[in-house]
């Protein structure tokens, strides 16, 4: 919990661990870029997800849409491997026409006009509302829970600490109950 963004630090180290023991990478050149990388290492993750056929890009919300999780997922990194791959000519994943883009675009315009992009921290619940429009047809179990939402939008370590503590207490009572 000492890192300025403990979740990003955890993701970087767990991906590195997974790759170090991945047999498919043995003897192959590969390169990992994380969504937090900047400068010459920057990758536009939404474009990468769309090009890889993982998710569709919504022009109204500026978020990617996964066929199962809707917009409730994060894009953490891109791994390129020196190996034959699928054709790059495949069309990008199409956004399902759920009749929500106009409503989302309208809210995005209002948020931008109200200066919400500049006042990100104060207006994060409005941004959750925007994402929730896009998620209306997604099974509720994929929606981020309250702590997850607050952490992802505010990046406050205290929120993450609270969520981890609640999880640990839950596990402890489950273990005590099962003993």
Q: Given the rule CB under 6 A, which residues bind ligand B12?
A: 35, 43-46, 61-64, 71, 73-76, 112, 117, 120, 127, 130-131, 152-153
Whose CA is closest to 53, among 94, 112, 15?
Answer: 94
Return the structure tokens found at 47: 């474009």
- Contacts of residue 73, Cβ cutoff 8 Å, sequence gap at least 6: 55, 64, 66, 142
Q: Count the neighbouring beta carbons within 10 Å of the beta carbon of residue 45.
A: 21
User: Cβ of residue 81: shortest distance to ligand B12, in angstroms?
Assistant: 20
User: Cβ of residue 8: shortest distance to ligand B12, in angstroms?
Assistant: 9
| Closer by beta carbon to ligand B12, 19 or else 111 | 111
| Closer by beta carbon to ligand B12, 63 or else 159 | 63
Angle made by CA atoms 117, 122, 126, in degrees to the nearest 5: 65
Q: C-alpha dihedral over 42, 44, 48, 49, to 10 degrees?
A: 130
101-113 vs 124-134: helix crossing angle, rounded to 10: 170
First to last CA, the chain: 30
User: Cβ of residue 155: shortest distance to ligand B12, in angstroms?
Assistant: 8
User: Cβ of residue 37: shortest distance to ligand B12, in angstroms?
Assistant: 7
Taking the C-alpha atoms of residue 62 and residue 46, their distance in angstroms, rounded to an integer, is 8
User: Cβ of residue 3: shortest distance to ligand B12, in angstroms?
Assistant: 16
| Closer by beta carbon to ligand B12, 81 or else 148 | 148
| Closer by beta carbon to ligand B12, 112 or else 173 | 112
| Closer by beta carbon to ligand B12, 35 or else 162 | 35
User: Cβ of residue 58: shortest distance to ligand B12, in angstroms?
Assistant: 8
| Closer by beta carbon to ligand B12, 28 or else 125 | 125
């Amino acid at each position: 919990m000492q890192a300025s963004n403990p979740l990003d630090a955890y993701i970087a180290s767990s991906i590195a661990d997974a790759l170090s023991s991945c047999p498919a990478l043995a003897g192959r050149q590969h390169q990992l870029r994380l969504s937090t990388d900047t400068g010459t290492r920057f990758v536009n993750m939404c474009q990468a997800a769309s090009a890889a056929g993982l998710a569709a890009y919504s022009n109204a919300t500026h978020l990617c849409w996964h066929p199962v999780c809707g917009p409730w997922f994060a894009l953490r990194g891109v791994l390129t491997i020196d190996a034959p791959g699928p054709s790059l000519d495949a069309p990008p994943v199409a956004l399902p026409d759920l009749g929500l883009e106009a409503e989302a675009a309208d809210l995005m315009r209002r948020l931008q006009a109200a200066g919400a992009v500049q006042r990100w921290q104060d207006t994060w619940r409005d941004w959750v509302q925007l994402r929730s429009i896009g998620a209306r047809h997604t099974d509720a179990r994929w929606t981020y829970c309250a702590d997850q939402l607050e952490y992802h939008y505010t990046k406050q370590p205290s929120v993450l600490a609270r969520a981890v503590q609640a999880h640990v207490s839950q596990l402890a009572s489950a273990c005590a109950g099962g003993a």
